[in-house]
Amino acid sequence: MVHRPITPGGYARLERELTDLWHQERPKVVQEVSDAAALGDRSENAEYIYGKKRLREIDRRMKFLTELLKKLTVIDPALNASDRVDFGAKVTIEDEEGRVRTYQIVGEDEVDAKQGRISMQSPVGKALLKHRVGDEVLVQRPAGELEMIITALSYD
């Protein structure tokens, strides 16, 4: 079985989602379906039909998360701490247009661009790996090349 890396925080978020689905969302929808079923004719009961559909979606997501959690290997970024960019690193860059951004290099299962978590397989993630503060890095993107400099690096 192939194990995929994930940070402790990423693993905790997936576990929390599974727990919330199991203990909060699913029981709520089961009750809604039960209440809708008690109203009689189910063939034209929109609440019942929607509830059953939502229940299938929840069950599918729970099964997916359960299987995914078995495949993940939690890696503490602090254990990778060095002067080079590696899994879990928080990297601050400045691009050629003067924009400053901070990214955390993570596994594909915890990518969240809005939170600055990018995959180590992404163009930017790949370009940053193994570089140090002060290094100029060239990123190959579909929109063209982007040059940036690493201004800070941490593993907290």
User: CB 56: neighbour CB atoms within 10 A?
Assistant: 10
How many residues appear in the chain?
156
Provide the residue type at 28 as one letter: K
Q: What percent of the chain has pLDDT over 70?
A: 98
Q: Are 83 and 69 in the same domain?
A: no
Assess contact for 155 and 108: CB atoms under 8 A. Answer: no
Confidence of residue 111 (pLDDT cuts 50, 70, 90): very high
> Residue 120 is part of which domain span?
77-154
Instruction: Render pLDDT for 67-106 as a digit per residue (tens, 0 to 9).
Output: 999 999 999 988 878 899 999 999 999 998 899 999 999 9
Residues 6+ positions from 86 with CB-CB distance below 8 Å: 80, 105, 129, 130
Q: Provide the CATH number for the domain around residue 108.
A: 3.10.50.30
How far from each other are the two terminal CA atoms of the chain, in whole angstroms? 29
Q: Provide the CATH number for the domain around residue 14.
A: 1.10.287.180
pTM of the model: 0.81
Q: Pick the last residue of a domain from 59, 74, 89.
A: 74
Q: Work out how many domains the chain is built from and give that number.
A: 2
The mean per-residue pLDDT over the stretch 20-39 comes to: 92
Q: Pick the last residue of a domain from 74, 106, 128.
A: 74
Q: Are 87 and 45 in the same domain?
A: no
